[in-house]
Amino acid sequence: MRQRVATACLDLLVEGNVDLGPVDVARRAGVSRATLHRWWPTKADLLREMLAQHTSGLVVVDTGTWAGDVRALVEQLAAFFADPLEVGQNAIMASGAHPEYNAAVLEHYAPLFDGWRAVVERGRDRGEVADDVDVDVVLQLLASPLIVTPLLFRRTVSRRELDDLVTLVVRATAPATR
């Protein structure tokens, strides 16, 4: 039932329906409104359920090297950000028209951001990332083209672009050689 409700919310979101009205969600999920209200009494509860399902496949990988970790993260995020649901979600967030929705998404993503920050910190601990590199700037550098390309240009990031992004990030973050 949880998966059906989350899928119903995700389907509505893909259609641009951020309101997630209980009638629409219950009908799509094949559950009664009473059941929906019992388990998900607020819109925020529905959003949390939906986001948990949507991001469940995102995992932080430790390949043993900074370059390998960057590649793994870039490839995972490229596929994730190219998903039509994620493109729609990013468009909704970029519009600024639904501040409550944006807040819920950012709250849900906070632990994911922490995991991605840990990848950069791990590279630093290994001596493969310069000590003065700002972790959040690295994440912005990684994520920005992976979000913008599907959102604005309506295409996936090419293999060459992924390779170039990995090379750029690894070079830009490397400790200075003496």
State the Cα–Cα distance between residues 55 and 138, nearest whole angstrom.
21
The model's pTM: 0.88
The answer to whether the Cα torsion of 25, 108, 17, 15 is positive or negative is negative
pLDDT 10s per residue in the chain (178 long)? 889 999 999 888 888 788 888 889 999 999 999 999 999 998 888 888 889 999 999 999 999 999 999 999 999 999 999 998 899 889 989 999 989 889 989 999 999 999 999 999 999 999 999 999 999 999 999 999 999 999 999 999 999 999 999 999 999 999 998 6
Q: Which domain holds residue 10?
A: 2-52
* Diameter of the chain measured on Cα atoms: 68
Instruction: Specify burial of residue 71 (Cβ count, 10 A radius: 0-12, 13-18, 19+).
Output: buried
Considering the domain boundaries, does residue 160 fall inside one?
yes
Other Cβ atoms closer than 10 A to 141: 15
Which CATH number do you get for residue 18? 1.10.10
Q: Identify whether residues 38 and 86 lie together within a single domain.
A: no
